Amino acid sequence: MFKSDRKYIFLPLILLAAGLTPSGKLFAESCKDVHITINNKTEDEVKVKKFEFHSVDKGWKTEVGMFGVDGFQKLMPDHNQTWTRGLGDVEDKSTRFRVTYAHLHGGSKWDDDLTETTENFTCSDDLKETVTLTK
């Protein structure tokens, strides 16, 4: 049933040791506690609909649950909002942020979606990064 061959005993131990970092955490997340600010520099109220970050290995990833239950965040002109998130999929690599938003057209109508994308930067723990909406 169970073979007591050395490879069956040592292989799991080797895999476990390879996943541990010096801090003793298994596969530690990098890019922790990133302070993301979305700044509305347009003349209109906007509805921020989606926040994404780029992973070299996986492409664009949507940060789910960032805007609460309704799935969006309204921002008045010259206002901003900051969130603190862990972006473990970035893994200390070059990344950029992309925000999808729409201007208030009037009443309860919103214009077509627009996007703003930051320049590439290297993500690190406790980073502060701002996406400024200007279109």
In the prediction, which pLDDT does 114 show? 98
Check residue 7 and give its pLDDT: 53
Phi, psi values for residue 106, rounded to 5°:
150, 145
Per-residue confidence (pLDDT) for residue 91, from 0 to 100: 64
pLDDT tens track, the chain, 135 positions: 545 555 555 444 444 444 444 444 444 457 899 999 999 999 999 999 999 999 888 899 999 889 888 899 999 999 999 999 998 878 657 899 999 999 999 999 999 999 999 999 999 899 999 999 999
The reply to whether CATH 3.40.50 applies to domain 29-133 is: no
**Burial group, residue 38, by CB count within 10 angstroms (0-12, 13-18, 19+):** buried
Q: What is the secondary structure of 65-125 as a DSSP string? A: TTTTTTT-EEE-TT-EEEEEE--GGGTTSEE-EEEEEEEEEETTEE---EEEEPPPEE--T
Instruction: Report which secondary-structure segment, H or E, holds 7.
Output: helix 6-19
Domain extent listing, the chain: 29-133
